[in-house]
Amino acid sequence: KKKHKMSYQNKKIKKWSNNDLLAWVRSIGLSESWQGMMVKAIEDNQCTGQDFASLENAKELGESFGITNPMLYKRVFRALNKLKQKQEDDAINNAAMANRS
């Protein structure tokens, strides 16, 4: 079984494992201490992409993970939304391409 380092990029957020989620958090350019806080929260709660995908807003992310710094949870939520949007756009574009052929 080969392990793809960037495997989370080929999956919908909802399908991410705990490791996928950790890999993503490490990829979004947080400072070392902020990344450490997020990684610890995700590991402690054994979160998956499903947990993240169901978050309604940044505050909920902060409360769910015990993160009190609004700048941190807002930044992570923005990155999550950006990726969600990209995945939705890609799915629309792929469907459009499939219809053309």
pLDDT in tens, 6-51: 578 889 999 999 999 999 999 999 999 999 999 999 999 999 999 9
Residue 96 tokens read as 């459009």
80 contact partners, CB below 8 Å, separation of at least 6: 13, 52, 55, 61
pTM beyond 0.75, yes or no: yes
Instruction: Compute the distance between CA of residue 86 and CA of residue 28 in angstroms, rounded to an integer.
Output: 15
